[in-house]
Amino acid sequence: MKYLLFFSLFIQISMAQTSNEIRLIIRSDDIGFCHTANEACMKVYTDGISRSVEILATAPWFMEAVKMLKTQPNYDVGVHLCLTSEWENLKWRPLTNAPSLTDADGYFPQFIWENKTLKNSAYLLQKPINIAEVEREFRAQIELVKKYLPWASHLSAHMGCTNANAEVKALTERLSAEYKLPIQMPQGTLPIKGFGGATKSPEQKEQDLVAILKALTPGTHFLVEHPGYDNGDMKGVGHIGYENVAYDREGVTRAFTSAAVKKVIAERNIKLISIKEALK
């Protein structure tokens, strides 16, 4: 009887400790789209707080990203499913023959839905899309990533493409089950709001993140951002309405590798986890 009471008390204490734990997922998006993004996405893992990274199989610097990620096999990788190519000076195409998914030049369109500000920009849903082409393309992207990075653990959506319409959403859920790559985060995961912004300086972004971390409550929190540097080929990336991409993303990298941010994480005993760990 005493043993049972002791065991029951131990379980209650353990559950209380777990319920008071603050867990943090930092997801870095778009590795593969340019050399500078590749470097930054790796930096925020090796010297920072990111534990998951999303790779674009269709993007031009995919193979370099693969080589980099192979040096860090504990870096959790997601297949960043893609049906868009948003930048003006940098474009990519589908891996498969998919005429219903491309613009007049054979590239993925700039957006999924019509952009009310950029009236002349091509968008995916301005013409009927062939769901069989979407399936072939998504399969090709998943299988290319799995070929080179077999530890990939989940799917994610570039610019919301997996919710383009009900057919695409249902297809994605089916492929997620078939490939055993979850697309949904665990129930109860709390998205972090209020970090960053294209007009904020790197110093402001660092201050934002410190303040957010100081206010986190127990539970699993989730922040998605796009690391970069204000140099190299990222300086040539942008589109109307978002021209300061390199400057914006330099601030993300600065915040994710900040000593002040790491100090708060240590002081509050915040546990950094990957999406793979959260899904267990």
pLDDT, tens digit, 9 for 90 and up, residues 117-138: 888 899 999 999 999 999 999 9
Structure tokens at 44: 């925020």
End-to-end alpha-carbon separation of the chain, Å? 34
| pLDDT: which is higher, 156 or 194 | 156
Name the strand (E) or helix (H) holding 142. Answer: helix 131-148
CATH number for the domain whose boundaries are 22-279: 3.20.20.370
Torsion of CA 186, 189, 193, 196, to 10 degrees: -60
The per-residue pLDDT for 8 is: 44
Confidence of residue 229 (pLDDT cuts 50, 70, 90): very high
Quote the percentage of the chain above a pLDDT of 70: 94
Of 2-6, 91-95, 252-256, 270-274, where does mean pLDDT reach its minimum?
2-6
Distance CA 72, CA 255 (A): 21
Distance CA 169, CA 160 (A): 10
Instruction: Please answer whether residues 161 and 168 qualify as being in contact, where contact means their C-beta atoms are separated by less than 8 angstroms.
Output: yes
pTM of the complete model: 0.92
3-class DSSP state of 220:
strand
Distance CA 44, CA 229 (A): 11
pLDDT at 243 over 80: yes
Angle between helices 62-70 and 131-148 (to 10 degrees): 40
Torsion of CA 162, 101, 167, 280, to 10 degrees: -30
Instruction: Please answer whether residues 234 and 244 qualify as being in contact, where contact means their C-beta atoms are separated by less than 8 angstroms.
Output: no
**What average pLDDT is seen over the chain?**
93
The per-residue pLDDT for 16 is: 40
Confidence of residue 158 (pLDDT cuts 50, 70, 90): very high
pLDDT at 268 over 60: yes
pLDDT at 251 over 60: yes
pLDDT at 2 over 70: no
Give the DSSP letter of residue 153.
Answer: -
Measured on CA atoms in the order 272, 50, 242, 202, is the torsion positive or negative?
A: positive
